[in-house]
Amino acid sequence: MNTALILTIGIPLIEIYLFIKIGSQIGALNTVFLILTTAIIGVVYVRYEGFNTLKSGLNQIVKNQVPVYEIISGATLAFAAFLLILPGFATDLIGILLVIPFTRRIILSRFVKKNNFKNKKENSKDYIEGDYEDISEDNDKKI
């Protein structure tokens, strides 16, 4: 089956199951309050971590380095904010794991290892090869 189809059907089923189980334990209003609280606190913390990532990326640029980790981390934080805004306990848990720098680094390193991204800098050159031709003004003649 298609992975997108499984996720589209599976995630809401898991969230509904968790709503029912947790709601029966702590009550409906407390469940709604908990969902809203995790969304608000999560988005505020994502904003804080996003600014830290932006600051780190600017430091990398000042050092004349490409901020690869910071770019990937920023995209991960945007995805985490999306997950935290969605109502649900499973998406909140995944979003919180992606926001915390320690777990985000672990998740991203496993993703990179799994997909076998290789450093392509080994074949790169610090110069551009090319030919040139000197064009002088003597060739410009009036007709």
Number of folded domains that form the chain? 1
CB contact burial 86-124 (16+ within 10 A = b; e otherwise): bebbbbbebbbebbeeeebeeeeeeeeeeeeeeeeeeee
Quick check: is 128 in a domain? no
Mean pLDDT for the stretch of residues 69-81: 90
**pTM of the predicted model as reported, rounded to 2 decimal places:** 0.71
Q: At 114, is the pLDDT very low, low, confident or very high (cuts 50, 70, 90)? A: confident
In-domain check, residue 94: yes
- The domain in which residue 67 lies consists of 12-116
